[in-house]
Structures are given as C-alpha cells and as structure tokens.
Amino acid sequence: MPALTAFFAKTWVRWALLVLVVALLIVGPLALPEFANQTIARIGVFAVAVLGLNIVMGYTGQVSLGQIFFVGLGAYITAYGVTQGWNIALVFVLAFVVPGIVGLLIALAAARLGGLAIAMVTIALPIVGVPLAKRLEEFTGGSQGLSSRFSDAPKWTGLYDDQWQLYVVILVTAVVFVLTRNLVHGKYGRAFAIVKGNEAVASSLGISPYRYKVLAFTVASLIGGVAGFLYMFVVQYTSPETMSFGHSITLLASMVIGGAASIIGSLLGGAYYVLVPQLTNVIDPNLTAVLQGAILLAVLFVLPGGLVSLPRVITRLRRRRGGTGSGPKTTPTTGPAPHPAPAVEGNPTERQGSA
C-alpha cells in the first residue's frame, strides 16, 4: 500500500490521470446512450448545488437548510429570462448574481446569529419561497411553473441535444469546481477552517468570523444560482416544488453522505442525489423515504466521514490487520527460567584477586 501511494504521488502519474479523465469527459458523451448522458448531466447539476452547501456547512461550519432556495431562484430567473427573449449570456449572469445578492443580504443579518438561530433563518427560505413562487404567478407561472427550451444543440456542432447539454454541464461544473478548490485551498479556506474550529481563536488571530461567514454564505448563494441555471438547461422546467423543504433535506443528506468539506465528496453527493431515488423507486416507490433513510444511516454508521473517507478507512483496516499478524514470532521456552548470576561487589582488581 505505501508503494501504491508513492506511485500515485508522482507528478507524471497525476498528469497522466488528469489527461485520462479529460479524454473520458470528451469521448464519453459521444459514446454513451441518451439516458446515460441525461443522468450524468443531472449529477453535474446537483454536484454544483451540493458544493455550494459544502462551502457553508462543510468548510465554515454554519448550519444552512435553505441552499435549495437559491437553486430554485436561479432556475426561475433563467426560465423567466429565456421566455422574455433575453440574451443567454445575460441570463446566465443574472442567474447567479441575483441569488448572490439575496444571499449577501440574508447573510448580513443572519451571520451574527449562531447555532439554532441561523438554522431557523435558513429553514424559512424554502418555506417562504414555495408560497411566494405560487403567488408571483406573472413571473413564475404560479403552481404550474415555467418551462423553457434553450439547450438545443447548435447545428454547427453536429451533436445531439443530450450530448450538447452534457458538454455544457461538464464545462460549467469543471470551472465552478476549480474556482472553489482554489478558494478553499487558499488563504480564505484557511480562514474558513479557523472560524469553523473556534471563533474566539479566529478573532484573536485577526480573522473576523462575521466577515468570513458572510463571505461563505454569499459564495454558496452564487454557486446555488449556477446550479439553478444548469437545472433549467437540463430539465427545462421548474415549479415551486423545486425549492421545497424536502429537497433541501435531501441536498443536506447528499452532502453528508458524499463527505463534508470535500470537493470530491460534493461530486459523490450529486451522484447520491440523482441515483439513489431512482434505485429506491425501482425497489418500491412506496418505501422511497424509508429506504433512503436506511441508506443514510448505514453509510454514516460505516463511514462517518462520508463516502469520500472510504479509501482512508480501507487503509486503516489494512494497517490494523497487518499490525496484528506481522510481528516477529517467538518460540516458547520450556522449563524454569535460569536464575541470574549473583552480583559480585568490588572493583575488577579485587574480583581478580579473590578468584
């Protein structure tokens, strides 16, 4: 195992793996069937949504139960802008800027709170968002929702619609993940970790917990808006149900199962969000919630750190097994142990003389 770890730590191996992954992402949409492309595209959408939640909860330690509200807001802005004939680039910018501004305003008021108080504020977002979306029928379509089709493949690409959608999702998701990785692995990420660990220590080091909480919540809102745009790009329909509290809880469970404070964990969380409901519906649609709860408990019992911690758990188990069986073997001796020779007092000269 150490030899394997050392092998993957080599620079050329990492570059080779990166090239392989890029090649698969380029060739995959051309070779996969339509259903597979659509499923992977949905995984990318919700991986971005889980990533935004991870910024707030995983990296900064805030309690947020309203991330789905910003996803729904971004989806509604996208649908409305497309139906009004706005430029698609402008629609994309508004889809994440407006949720970012709303998130900033909420964070300025809520970031001073802590624990249960901030949880209550974020719970209110999807609870208020659903009836508000129904009320603003002129902009949201009311209970019927809005549909918009703007993700048809351009003729010059020669691609099918599902291939084009997947390529766009891969590109946007990759950019968001790279930017987020640079954020959490830089000075802001270190400040997030200190605030998460102990706010008093952060203050003593000159790091403002309030400022970084606001920053984390705003970034999460921006990323949620991007996920909303991608949601409309792939699904092409949104309704008040998109931002319901049930989806918010599922998003939270996806982050926990994938792995908190982990970029790869966000990808795994997106896969959980899309694939597990499909699996439970195949088993028994009437037991979907029960089966999902059982899967959540099983994963957390075996892997408290989420699916991303699986390699570490396997390595730890191998070390334990190796440690119990790899020690030098000793042959037991029979008979009484020999008595030690009696000590002789005096210096060497006296002992020689007495001999």
Asked, for residue 221, whether it belongs to a domain, the answer is yes
117 pLDDT higher than 80: no
Asked, for residue 344, whether it belongs to a domain, the answer is no
298 pLDDT higher than 80: yes
Asked, for residue 83, whether it belongs to a domain, the answer is yes
Cβ-contact 107, 214 below 8 angstroms: yes
Average pLDDT of span 83-88:
95
Can you say whether the dihedral through the CA atoms of 20, 23, 29, 32 is positive or negative? Answer: negative
The per-residue pLDDT for range 40-52, each reduced to its tens digit, is 999 999 999 999 9
Asked, for residue 285, whether it belongs to a domain, the answer is no
Residues 6+ apart with CB under 8 A from 13: 7
Neighbours of 145 (CB within 10 A): 18
Domain limits for position 236: 36-244
Average pLDDT of span 2-31:
82
Asked, for residue 20, whether it belongs to a domain, the answer is no
Tell me how far apart the alpha carbons of residues 315 and 8 are, in angstroms, rounded to a whole number: 15
Tell me how far apart the alpha carbons of residues 118 and 245 are, in angstroms, rounded to a whole number: 16
Average pLDDT of span 58-84:
95
**pTM value?**
0.88
Instruction: Give the chain's domain count.
Output: 1
Dig out the tokens for 274 from the structure. Answer: 């899309």
Asked, for residue 17, whether it belongs to a domain, the answer is no
pLDDT value for 287? 86
Dig out the tokens for 20 from the structure. Answer: 């392989």
Asked, for residue 120, whether it belongs to a domain, the answer is yes
The per-residue pLDDT for range 214-245, each reduced to its tens digit, is 999 999 999 999 999 999 999 999 999 999 99
Asked, for residue 104, whether it belongs to a domain, the answer is yes
Of the candidates 213, 270, 186, 228, the residue with the CA atom closest to the CA atom of residue 67? 228
